[in-house]
Structure 1
Amino acid sequence: MSRKHPIISITGSSGAGTTSVKRTFEQIFRRENVNAAYIEGDAFHRYNRVDMRTKMAEEAALGNRHFSHFSPETNLFEELETTFRDYATTGTGKTRTYVHDDKEAAVHGVAPGNFTDWHSLPADSDLLFYEGLHGAVITEKVNVAQHADLKIGVVPVINLEWIQKLHRDRADRGYTTEVVTDTILRRMPDYVHYIVPQFAETDINFQRVPTVDTSNPFIARWIPTADESMVVIRFKDPRGIDFAYLLSMIQGSFMSRANSIVIHGAKLDLAMQLILTPLIMQLVDRKRGVK
């Protein structure tokens, strides 16, 4: 953690919805004139798309049916921690970009499924913003969580997470339900060991809970909408959180525990604006020397 070079980390599994949360942060940054440097978790995968498929096939031939993007073996956790540590110390660090599709390829000049070269983050940013799978990961070798000043977990209940992943991967990547199901099963041990424990480290978790039947996510025809959901917002340390203000500003909200507030799904953006803006500005003001 760093007073001079703060880090915000958004963490969630594949299909959890971290990209939508990132857009809310971007809105706050623009409105409050915060100059953020960005890194994506995909940049710290160990293998490009072709090499990952090859490695997965090799592991399967050896009897390993659980080789996944969630594990230390397939990610550069040490390099990620180094980037966090370097930024907290110097205000810069190394990152790269994983190119997902043709649109991104046109921007970066790199074929889809590959990485750009490593490059330095800009030296004049107000804070570092991470969005990806492992923003609060802790293993025997690394502790990424300790370097982030504000850690946010995006954690839909698991059936909803699967529905979102199924619909995204079928629509955007052309995968079949069977292929996506196999991916979910293959990732499960690493999901349990490297994704879930992070949400005990996060400062705030946003967990969307459907109010419609999601008993069988593999046959769900639609993703439950915001109007068909509630969101549980859990604060690791509720001290300093003005719950009375939040309850008065967010219609229909209520507290379910001393550290948790429940809101209607359609109010998520408002809730995030109300909760996150002062926290972000505390970090930025502290950096700028405003007391």
Structure 2
Amino acid sequence: MSSKHPIIAVTGSSGAGTTTVKHTFEAIFHRENVNAAIVEGDSFHRYTRDEMRQLIDEAEARGERGISHFGPEANLLEELEALFRGYGESAVGRKRFYIHNEEQAMRWNLPMGTFTKWEDLPVGTDCLFYEGLHGGFVTDTIDVARHVDLLIGVAPTINLEWIQKLHRDTRVRGYSMEAVQDTILRRMHDYVHCIVPQFSRTHINFQRVPVVDTSNPFIARDVPSLAESMVVIRFRDPRGIDFPYLINMISDAFMSRANSIVIPGGKLDLAMQLILTPLIWKLMEKRRKLV
């Protein structure tokens, strides 16, 4: 952790909605004139899409479970920790981009499922912002979480998470329903052991809970909207959180525990703005005193 060069990370599973939270942070950064170095977690995948597919096929041919992007074998997590460490010490590091879709492929003139070249982070940034799968990852040898000053978890209920992933991967990324189902099953071991434990290390968790039937996510025609959801917001340390203010500002919000507030899904962006903006102010104020 570094007051002079703070790091903010949003972590969550594939399809959890971390990109939505990223957009909220970007809006806050723009409004508050914060110059953030943006790093996408997918850029720390170890393999291209074709390489990953080959490794999975070879493992399954041997009767083994293939690796997944949730687990350490398929990611450059030592390099991710090194990036966080280096940025916290002197605001330096390298990033690249993973090519997800045709639009990005045309922009970078690279095949889908590959990476751009590594490049240095821009000079003179105020903070580093990471959004991906492993912002709170910890093992006996790797501790990404210890470098993060503000760690946000995005963890919708599992069926909603699957619905969001299914709709994104089939409609936006062109995968078949069967391929997405296979991916969900193959990732389950790593989901339990690598993704879920991170939510015990986060400073704040946002968990969206649908209030419509999602009992069979594989036949859902649409993703439940925010208006069809409630959101549970859990604070690891509730000291300093002005719950009466939040409840007053967010209509129909209520406290479910001493460290948790529940809000209508349609108020999620407002709640994130009210909660996250003061936290960014504090990080930037600490930084200004040291620079």
Asked if the contact 2:10–2:18 (Cα under 8 Å) also holds between the matched residues in 1, the reply is yes
Residue number in structure 2 paired with 1:247: 247
Identity %: 64
TM-score of the superposed pair, with normalisation by structure 2:
0.97
Residue number in structure 2 paired with 1:175: 175
Asked if the contact 1:66–1:189 (Cα under 8 Å) also holds between the matched residues in 2, the reply is no
Residue number in structure 2 paired with 1:50: 50
Q: Count the aligned residue pairs.
A: 290
Cα deviation for residue 65 of structure 1 reads 2.1
Query: Quick one: which amino acid aligns to residue 47 of structure 1?
Result: Y
Residue number in structure 2 paired with 1:164: 164
Counterpart-to-counterpart distance in 1, 2:68 and 2:74: 7
* Aligned: 1:22 with 2:22: yes
Query: Quick one: which amino acid aligns to residue 54 of structure 1?
Result: Q
Counterpart-to-counterpart distance in 2, 1:103 and 1:210: 31
Which 5+ residue runs of structure 1 have no aligned equivalent? none
Cα deviation for residue 72 of structure 1 reads 0.8
TM-score of the superposed pair, with normalisation by structure 1:
0.97
Deviations 1:64-101 (A, max 9, x none): 22421111110001000000000000111111111112
* Aligned: 1:12 with 2:12: yes
Q: Secondary structure at the match of 1:208?
A: strand
Residue number in structure 1 paired with 2:122: 122
Deviations 1:126-180 (A, max 9, x none): 0000000001101122000000000000110001001111111110122222221
Name which of structure 1's ranges 169-178 and 225-234 shifts more when overlaid on structure 2: 169-178
Cα deviation for residue 50 of structure 1 reads 0.9
Counterpart-to-counterpart distance in 1, 2:186 and 2:213: 25
Asked if the contact 2:83–2:94 (Cα under 8 Å) also holds between the matched residues in 1, the reply is yes
> CA RMSD of the aligned region, Å?
1.0
Counterpart-to-counterpart distance in 2, 1:170 and 1:163: 11
Q: Secondary structure at the match of 2:246?
A: helix
Counterpart-to-counterpart distance in 1, 2:216 and 2:260: 28
Cα deviation for residue 109 of structure 1 reads 3.2
Residue number in structure 1 paired with 2:89: 89
Name which of structure 1's ranges 54-63 and 130-139 shifts more when overlaid on structure 2: 54-63
Residue number in structure 1 paired with 2:101: 101
Residue number in structure 2 paired with 1:33: 33
Residues 40 and 162 of structure 1: CA distance in aligned 2, closer, same or farther (over 3 Å): same
Residues 108 and 176 of structure 1: CA distance in aligned 2, closer, same or farther (over 3 Å): closer
Which 4+ stretches in 1 moved above 4 angstroms?
Answer: none
Residue number in structure 2 paired with 1:61: 61
Query: Quick one: which amino acid aligns to residue 267 of structure 1?
Result: K
Q: Secondary structure at the match of 1:234?
A: strand
Q: Secondary structure at the match of 1:233?
A: strand
Counterpart-to-counterpart distance in 1, 2:53 and 2:185: 16
Cα deviation for residue 182 of structure 1 reads 1.1
Asked if the contact 1:208–1:232 (Cα under 8 Å) also holds between the matched residues in 2, the reply is yes
Cα deviation for residue 102 of structure 1 reads 2.5
Residue number in structure 2 paired with 1:269: 269
Asked if the contact 1:66–1:188 (Cα under 8 Å) also holds between the matched residues in 2, the reply is no
Which 5+ residue runs of structure 2 have no aligned equivalent? none
Counterpart-to-counterpart distance in 2, 1:249 and 1:66: 48
Residue number in structure 1 paired with 2:79: 79
Q: Secondary structure at the match of 1:289?
A: helix
Cα deviation for residue 17 of structure 1 reads 0.5
Asked if the contact 2:10–2:130 (Cα under 8 Å) also holds between the matched residues in 1, the reply is yes
Query: Quick one: which amino acid aligns to residue 55 of structure 1?
Result: L
Cα deviation for residue 106 of structure 1 reads 2.9
